Structure 1
């Protein structure tokens, strides 16, 4: 069922926030001041976010409940998990069938089973993805930066040639593209801290070389022409000195990468076949392979997504069981191999890997925090067709996150959800502000890190009052 909400309001506010920053009466450099904190001791240098875009059901992945196999005429109210539980390497901890490989590396990380997404008024993908990635509820009066942009700004690049923030796997030219663009940005921090976008990892090298048939000399002339066009555009006229300088630095960094030997990290064709084949489960799997190669070359923050496309991937509004089985095939071996490869190369100890989604799902209930009686939509009481078997409805009152490496406690579990519907969080609830602060803490970024925009502090998490969940750390 397609989400019904006023997207225009959300986009109008996001666009106005960006333009108000550019067209402010005073230059943005006077509105945005650097308030980078004195960094404390860290346990991680790099973050890899493996984003399960679309809403990954916890009861059909990392938090299985009672399994009920499909049969015609079954009562849908009795279905909690549509996959058999399978053991992991941790005693007493099961995953659902299809995630055996990840289960065997859980001794390297922590399983969170009590993530609660916010009540944003509507349980909608764009709003919740924006909230997860920026830690701010939309809409905002200024364009909130992505967590990767904060990290890029606070810590800078590990390798000056490799972009500090790289996003792999998400196209921004499809349905709901404008909503996706709203958080694939550095916001008011400026272009140099924005994501280096690679929509398709199989064509990753194309992102760091001139178009086919274009010489470097011609590319340099085109680059100068582009600079001239920017200077003569509305951005050149109304943009602040800060934004112009930020854009110039972003372009210079891209040009430096283009000419560097490190650009080969983007070329998956140079990967040995045996390794390539393990990761080759589709775009996401190859994105994990690219993330491994970029981590080894000194990337700071990498996001790899299964890609949000309405009614595809983890957006399992129908055929929930069948779709989830395919998604698990795509993610299981690549995620496990990424962890093992980084461990073998000595990078895992300083690389924080996160597996997360914007919210979870339930078969019958459209759930949000605090709601005891929830709406039943588009799901028959009696199931006679396999397309109705699976987790279909958005659910925010419980969910799973995995964290590995980078100072995370090993072989641990955190939180608990109920074993009966609606399988909501009953122990140690954790929210996005705590998740973000835990990531920042591992990287050595202080809790109060912020920038000053339009005369007021804007913190990495709202009001700068939230704290890391130290129980997740070793």
Structure 2
């Protein structure tokens, strides 16, 4: 089973891969990719992309101009502000689920949890529709995740293990307050434990045992194990695992992204979509309940988180643009809900699904605009309310996935990729 998450190190790429990547990016047949910047805990919309300066609910942060005249965001995102022409802010998300686990599951799958049916997360759905089953790299990679209260939100559900994510830097059994380090971004078991000749002998032995065992035991479990084994071997024996090795990246570029797990995770995400991985997510986590759960000291914590988020996100957009990849890569920034406009006695903001925001950008998105509007104090949506199915259908259309398509569940029930109530935000689609 360790082979399913293993790889081998290779030498530096020199200039040939950059030329290859540029040619691949220009290919009109190139499939699209999606990068999800996941903010667990629920970031404060008023202190990021829907500032309310001068209002009692606005807090101490100033609003700053962006590269798009008339669009202002919070002062601690100055580099992202310069990339606003490549982004679109949806300020009118309105949902009903205020529990972390249930809301995260909802945003990541489009459904609320059910006891007897495990829905697949968005990454699994996109990887099934756009991925290459014979690719060396997994079609869904999750970087720096701390699953915590929503383990099910990372599952491939009824789609099966072929579409489960490769988890990089994920430690679900460790305390949720632990902050991941740079070394956690390594793929587990990336180097074989024995020399290649012995490894090959072990592979042959296992193949022989499987050949004797499999006949008469056909079924999902046997097929899933065999598939995981084959995927692991492709990653071990191929050269694509070099995507996870950042030593060949210029030191200046690595520093631009930020020498922290989130910044380097965003750089890995760029390297993965460069190699046609259809879905990559990078989590900005650490601290109690995922960092953005700012019931206390909201303003100090949001500033500290934005100091990590701002350079990494801006560098990712610029890097994708420079490499000709932005037009085929959709970027999504979101958490599971927002925070209350009211500031509590601990200088914090509490859970608030009534009115909050997400940000979309890159390929398939009509950028440089704001969709929706909240009230003067930020407590209600006054224009263009959007629910989770609307958002997920919009993302699907941006990446070229038919959101009305149906898959069969494990009990043979046809289930749409996105719920039938979905109404894509057509004004945000290019």
Q: TM-score range by the shorter chain?
A: 0.7 to 0.9
Contact 1:281 1:329 in 2 (8 A): no
Secondary structure of the residue that 2:116 maps to in structure 1?
coil
Alignment partners' CA distance in 2, 1:230 and 1:143: 29
Cα distance, 1:207–1:311 mapped onto 2, change above 3 Å: closer
- Give structure 1 regions of 4+ aligned residues with deviation exceeding 3 angstroms: 41-44, 200-208, 216-233, 308-312
Aligned-residue offset at 1:43:
9.9
Give yes or no for the alignment of 1:183 onto 2:153: yes
Provide the residue aligned with 1:209 in structure 2.
190
Secondary structure of the residue that 1:303 maps to in structure 2?
strand
Alignment partners' CA distance in 1, 2:399 and 2:185: 27
Give yes or no for the alignment of 1:48 onto 2:5: no
Cα distance, 1:61–1:226 mapped onto 2, change above 3 Å: farther
Aligned-residue offset at 1:302:
0.2
**Which of 351, 365, 380 is matched with 1:424 structurally?**
380
Provide the residue aligned with 1:33 in structure 2.
none
Aligned-residue offset at 1:433:
0.4
**Which of 26, 33, 51 is matched with 1:64 structurally?**
51
Contact 2:31 2:276 in 1 (8 A): no
Provide the residue aligned with 1:112 in structure 2.
90
Secondary structure of the residue that 1:49 maps to in structure 2?
strand
Give yes or no for the alignment of 1:98 onto 2:76: yes
Compute the RMSD of aligned alpha carbons. Answer: 3.0
Secondary structure of the residue that 2:302 maps to in structure 1?
helix
Alignment partners' CA distance in 2, 1:84 and 1:194: 42
Contiguous gaps of at least 5 residues in structure 2: 1-27, 170-179
Contiguous gaps of at least 5 residues in structure 1: 1-40, 69-77, 366-378, 381-387
Alignment partners' CA distance in 1, 2:375 and 2:211: 58
Tell me the alpha carbon deviations over residues 187-230 of structure 1, each in whole angstroms, 9 at most, x when there is no partner: 1111110001101664544436235x533345556668888999
Alignment partners' CA distance in 1, 2:212 and 2:111: 34
Cα distance, 1:206–1:451 mapped onto 2, change above 3 Å: closer
Secondary structure of the residue that 1:434 maps to in structure 2?
helix
Cα distance, 1:232–1:284 mapped onto 2, change above 3 Å: farther
When the two structures are aligned, how many residues end up with a matched partner? 391
Contact 1:42 1:443 in 2 (8 A): no
TM-score, L = length of structure 1: 0.76
Give yes or no for the alignment of 1:145 onto 2:120: yes
Q: What does 1:18-37 align with in structure 2 at a 5 Å threshold?
A: none
Aligned-residue offset at 1:450:
1.5
Contact 2:294 2:349 in 1 (8 A): yes
Alignment partners' CA distance in 2, 1:272 and 1:397: 44
Q: What does 1:106-255 align with in structure 2 at a 5 Å threshold?
A: 106-117=84-95, 119-120=96-97, 123-157=98-132, 160-172=135-147, 176=148, 179-199=149-169, 202-207=183-188, 209-210=190-191, 213-219=193-199, 241-255=219-233
Provide the residue aligned with 1:274 in structure 2.
252
Give yes or no for the alignment of 1:405 onto 2:405: no
Alignment partners' CA distance in 2, 1:325 and 1:251: 44
**Which of 445, 457, 461 is matched with 2:414 structurally?**
457
